[in-house]
Amino acid sequence: MQNPFDNPAFSMAEMTKAINILPNRYGRIGQLNLFPERGVRTRQILVEYKAGRLSLLPSKPVGADGSKHINEKRQFRTFTVPHIPHDGDIMPDEYQGIRAFGSSSELQQLSQLMNDKLQSMRNKHAITLEHLRMGAVKGQVLDSDGSVIYDWFDEFKLKQHKVDFKLDDPKTEILTKCLEVLDTIEESLEGEFMTGIRALVSREFFHKLITHPKVQSAYERWRNGEALRTDMRAGFDFGGITFEQYLGQASDIEGNVRRFIAKDEGHVFPLGTMDTFETVFAPADFLETANTIGQALYSKQETRKFNRGIDIHTQSNPLPICYRPKVLIKLVTT
C-alpha cells in the first residue's frame, strides 16, 4: 500500500514553503518591524566593531580577494548562529478515514492535516524568535532557560547606559529622565535618522509611571482624556518616548514561566533607523540546503520504520543582532 505522504506535495521544498507562509500568531517585536530579515550562506558570521557600530563582513568565494582592511582600530569576532530544531509526528490514527480510493479530495485533506501540525510547530518557533529578538533589544541574546548566548556589550567591551526613573519618589522629575534617554540615543546614533523612540516596560514599571505625580496629569490629559476612556497600555507618549506595557512570557521545556522583561524594568530603542537591527538566518543542516541562502524556517518529513507514522522535523537558525548596542537603554526604578 502506498504511503500517502510520499506525494511530491510533502517534499522538503514544499513543506518549507508551506511553513514559511503560515501566519505568525505571536511576536510584538515582529509587529514593530524592528528586525529586517536576511539569509546568509554559512552558520558562522564574522562581526566587526568600529566607531560604535557592529557590522557583518561579506562572504566571498574561495580564492577571491578579501575585504579591504583599513589600518584603524577594529574588533573582529566570529559568532555561530543558534540552531533551533523542533520535532513532531503524525500517527496513522490521525488520518484514519481520510483516505478514500480514487478520492480527489484526499490530498487536500492530508495537506490540511499537515498544515495544522506545521502551524502548531511554527507557533513555538515564533515565540522562540520573539524571545531571541527581545534579548537582542536588551543587548543579550538569551536561550530558553535564560542563559546568555551572546552579550553584545561584553563581546565588544561596551557598557550599557542605564537610567533610574526612581518612580517611587514623588519628587523625581520624570521629564528630565526622558530627556536623558533621548540625548543618549541621539548621540549613539551618530547622525542616523530615526522616526521615534519606544520603551517596552514591565507591568509594574508602567503602572508606577502613569500614576507618578509628575506624569499622572499629563496621562489624564493625553489626547483629550483618551487615556481615561481606552486602554493605553499599548502606547502612552511622554517626554518624547512611547511607553508600552510588554507582557511577553513563555514556558521553557521544564515548565518554568519566564518573563521577557523583568519586574520594574524597561528597555528603550529607536524606531525607523536604516540599519540598527537585523535578524540573520543561516541555512538548515540538510544536504540539499548546504551553501544556500538561509530561510526563516525549514520543514521536512520522513516515514517511520514499517510505515508506522510520519516524523516531522522543523528548524530555524536565527541570530537577531543590534548593530549599534549603545542605543539600547535600560530603564530601572529603585
* Strands of 298-303's sheet in order across: 84-90, 310-316, 298-303
Number of CB atoms found within 10 A of residue 200's CB: 27
> What is the full per-residue pLDDT of the chain (334 aa) written as tens digits?
466 677 777 889 989 988 888 887 778 898 898 999 999 999 999 888 776 677 776 655 555 666 555 545 567 888 999 999 999 998 888 877 665 545 556 666 777 888 889 999 999 999 999 999 999 999 999 998 889 999 989 988 899 999 999 999 999 999 999 999 999 999 998 878 899 999 999 999 999 999 999 998 887 776 565 655 456 677 888 999 999 999 999 887 778 888 999 999 999 999 999 889 999 999 999 999 998 999 999 999 998 988 888 999 999 999 999 989 999 999 999 9
- The rounded distance, in Å, linking the Cα atoms of 252 and 143 is 10
DSSP type of residue 225: T
Burial of 30 (C-beta count, 10 Å sphere; 0-12/13-18/19+): middle
Q: At 215, list the grid cell.
A: 506624569
Residue 71's pLDDT is 47
Q: What is the pTM of this model?
A: 0.86
Task: Identify the CA nearest to 320 among candidates 169, 60, 131, 145.
Answer: 131
Residue 106's pLDDT is 65
Residue 197 near residue 269, CB atoms below 8 Å: yes
Residue 313's pLDDT is 96
Beta bridge partners of 302: 311
Strand ranges in 191-240 using DSSP code E only, listed in sequence order? 196-201, 236-238
* Residue 151 one-letter amino acid: D
Look-up of cell digits 525549514: 298
Residue 90 near residue 309, CB atoms below 8 Å: yes
Dihedral of alpha carbons 207, 131, 279, 70, sign: positive
* Residue 330 one-letter amino acid: K
3-state secondary structure at position 314:
strand
Residue 176's pLDDT is 97
Residue 128 near residue 84, CB atoms below 8 Å: yes
Spell out the domains of the chain, with CATH numbers in brackets.
Answer: 4-63+71-150+278-323 (3.15.30), 160-274+326-332 (3.30.1930.10)
Pairing mode of beta strands 241-245, 249-251: unpaired
Residue 320 near residue 276, CB atoms below 8 Å: no
E strand or H helix that includes residue 176 = helix 174-189
Residue 128 near residue 142, CB atoms below 8 Å: no
Beta bridge partners of 237: 242
3-state secondary structure at position 85:
strand
